[in-house]
């Protein structure tokens, strides 16, 4: 199975800050990398697919980049409603595997 290493596991930032989360795959997954957001007590929701494609309706302050084994998720200008845990997920090979998550808190 492909292992996904996500970092940091948690972070605290101020409104307006730029936040960056990284995800590393244990082998080349091309661009088969997705990012999900899970707000407290809610189901996950897809934000970005195929490393950089923003889902319809997702604010443009969210972005993704990378290919191969190294990927980055960025929130430009953090907002209070961005309080959530964010997960990367690869789907190059079955089983699909998730990173451990990054809990984003607002200072």
Partner 1 sequence: QVQLVESGGGVVQPGRSLRLSCAASGFSFSDYGMHWVRQAPGQGLEWVAIIWYDDSKRYYVDSVKGRFTISRDNSKNKLYLQMNSLRAEDTAVYYCGRDPGSGEGLIDHWGQGILVTVSS
Q: Is 13 in the site for partner 1 (CB under 8 A)?
A: no
Q: How far apart are CA 7 and CA 54, in angstroms?
A: 21
The sign of the CA dihedral 26, 89, 18, 60 is positive
Among 14, 40, 60, 94, binds partner 1 (CB under 8 A): 94
| Closer CB to partner 1, 73 or 90, in the complex | 90
For residue 23 the two structure tokens come to: 């995800």
In 3D space, the residue among 89, 67, 65 whose CA is nearest the CA of residue 5 turns out to be 89
Pair 61, 54: CB distance under 8 Å: no
Contact status: 32 vs partner 1 (CB under 8 A): yes
Q: Which of 36, 62, 71, 73 binds partner 1 (CB under 8 A)?
A: 36
Find the shortest distance in angstroms from Cβ 104 to partner 1. Answer: 14
Give whichever of 9 and 77 is closer to partner 1, judged by the CB atom.
Answer: 9
Q: Could you tell me the two tokens for 59?
A: 């604010």
**Residues engaged in binding partner 1 (CB under 8 A):** 32, 34, 36, 38, 42-46, 49, 55, 85, 87, 89-92, 94-101
């Amino acid at each position: 199975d492909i292992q996904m290493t996500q970092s940091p596991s948690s972070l605290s930032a101020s409104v307006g800050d730029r936040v960056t989360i990284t995800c590393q795959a244990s082998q080349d997954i091309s661009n088969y990398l997705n990012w999900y957001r899970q707000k407290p007590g809610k189901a996950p929701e897809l934000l970005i697919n195929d490393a950089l494609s923003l889902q319809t309706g997702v604010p443009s302050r969210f972005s993704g980049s990378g290919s191969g084994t190294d990927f980055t998720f960025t929130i430009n200008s953090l907002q209070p409603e961005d309080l959530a845990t964010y997960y990367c997920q690869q789907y190059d090979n079955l089983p699909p595997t998730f990173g451990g998550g990054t809990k984003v808190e607002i200072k």
